[in-house]
């Protein structure tokens, strides 16, 4: 084992996506909540440490935590709750969501994919109060560096699942 510290820097570009919808902020947030299950990383780790098989773990995660979208909420950061102190009068929340059963499809090809799994989405009330802006970074644009067809395929599957969730929460109906 080497006694030297090495640092490797890799430049890459993420693709930031902004979806504007006339759907009201409260409706978009409510839809997201209804489409996602809820869990915490400690809950998922605790379950994984139980003396159960991989198949049982998968079954329990799906049964107990995964919402109809295939995702679960891990954390919500209410930026709108504190930015008013600085004169910004807009509601905005950042949700961290994911699914370990999706994450493993990428982590098995590149453990560093864990840097960008789970995914994040920012919901912001439009400046005029009419509608919502949904901002996220396309997961595959962060996860896939280099040439790994398996990782790229898994990350693009995550993109499709995540974009389907965004479509459902921003729909006007």
Question: Token match 């006694």: residue?
Answer: 3
Name the stretches of the chain with pLDDT < 50: none
| Rounded (5°) CA angle 125-127-132 | 30
* 3-state class (DSSP) for residue 98: strand
Inside any domain, residue 6: no
DSSP letter at 173 equals -
- Residue 74 in any domain: the answer is yes
pTM attached to this predicted model: 0.92
Domain membership flag for residue 90? yes
Total domains in the fold of the chain: 1
pLDDT value at residue 145: 86
- CB–CB of 37/71 below 8 Å? yes
Domain around 54: 16-170
CATH number of the domain within which 137 lies? 3.30.310.70
């Amino acid at each position: 084992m080497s006694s030297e510290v090495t640092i490797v820097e890799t430049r890459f570009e993420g693709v930031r996506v902004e979806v504007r919808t006339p759907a009201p902020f409260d409706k978009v947030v409510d839809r997201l909540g209804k489409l996602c299950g809820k869990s915490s990383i400690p809950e998922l780790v605790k379950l994984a440490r139980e003396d159960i098989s991989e198949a049982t773990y998968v079954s329990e995660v799906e049964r107990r935590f995964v919402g109809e979208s295939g995702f679960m909420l891990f954390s919500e950061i209410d930026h709108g709750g504190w930015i008013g102190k600085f004169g910004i009068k807009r509601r905005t929340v950042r949700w961290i969501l994911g699914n370990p059963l999706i994450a493993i499809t990428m982590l098995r090809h590149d453990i560093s994919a864990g840097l960008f799994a789970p995914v994040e989405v920012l919901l912001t009330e439009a400046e005029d109060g009419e509608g919502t802006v949904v901002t996220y970074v396309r997961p595959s644009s962060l996860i896939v560096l280099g040439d790994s067809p398996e990782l790229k395929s898994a990350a693009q599957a995550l993109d499709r699942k995540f974009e389907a969730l965004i479509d459902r929460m921003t729909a006007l109906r």
